[in-house]
Amino acid sequence: MERILPVIALIFISLSLPAQEQKAAFDISQAQDSELGLPSPMDKFLGLDAALGSKGVKWGDVYREVASNADLKSLTAETDVCLALGVRIADGIMAVKAQDANALNECASDIEALAKKLKVAESQLERAKKTRALANKGQWLLVFWEMGCLQVDILQSLSEKGNEKRRTLIIASGWLQGAHYAAHVINQRYTPELSNYLREPMLVKAMSKEMQALPTATQQNARVAKLSSALGDIYSIVNIPLDGTIAKPDVQRMADLAQKLSGEFVQ
């Protein structure tokens, strides 16, 4: 009780302060866009679980139906490596959701190998080994934590000036593969209400804007050009009102667009 009283006192003091002393008025002219982070598809997966209830998704089956066989040895160009890395990060999160240790081991190994091609320091990839070890022990909550930290470590290592294009490509391709999984599930169990889980117009618009700001040489890469075009098409699909819905043929089109590109990016 003695420890609680000072906390209560501080609350009453803060409430008694004039509004201008608590917080300065918001000046919209000072607002700035924050840097895009790597979107995690896990929120969509959890939302679909909640919406489907007893008709729950067999996520292991979804992983096997959606994840493309990765053949990464031939990928040497920086742009191609970044696109593949984004896809495999999303695959890794799906493997965590499916609690599939074998799939997670493969994804973590691929993420580590691709990151090394981008000159990510060995010290920043220690979590990949830890992730595999935890998955093999079935400690999935810790696996999810370590996967998130691994993503942060990789993106931080690529945040230095001059590496902006790497971040943009990893983020966009990773988001696309995450949306691929969600669209695949929604298409199989379609209801208008369920389709709203694909609604992310502001995020897609922000990614498209960053893609358009890439160096001209990068934008002219065939795979990058396809990704930019796909984001434009997807924006027209997901740009719906807050309580809107997406027609089933458009959900299918979104899944098809993502499937074609993600398969190409890991070959």
pLDDT tens, position by position, 28-46: 455 445 566 667 899 999 9
State pTM to two decimals: 0.84
The sign one gets for the Cα dihedral 107, 170, 87, 81 is negative
Mean pLDDT by groups of 10 residues along the chain of 267 residues: 40 40 50 62 93 90 93 92 95 96 94 91 86 93 91 79 80 96 97 96 96 94 97 97 96 97 95
- In the chain, what are the domain boundaries? 72-265
- d(CA 1, CA 152) in angstroms, rounded, equals 40
Report whether 108 contacts 149 (CB < 8 A).
no
pLDDT at res. 47: 93
pLDDT at res. 154: 86
Question: In the chain, how long is the greatest CA-to-CA distance?
Answer: 66
pLDDT at res. 221: 95
pLDDT at res. 54: 77
- d(CA 110, CA 123) in angstroms, rounded, equals 17
What tokens were used for 226? 């396809």
Q: What is the DSSP string of 138-180?
A: T-HHHHHHHHHHHHHHHHHHT-STT-HHHHHHHHHHHHHHHHH
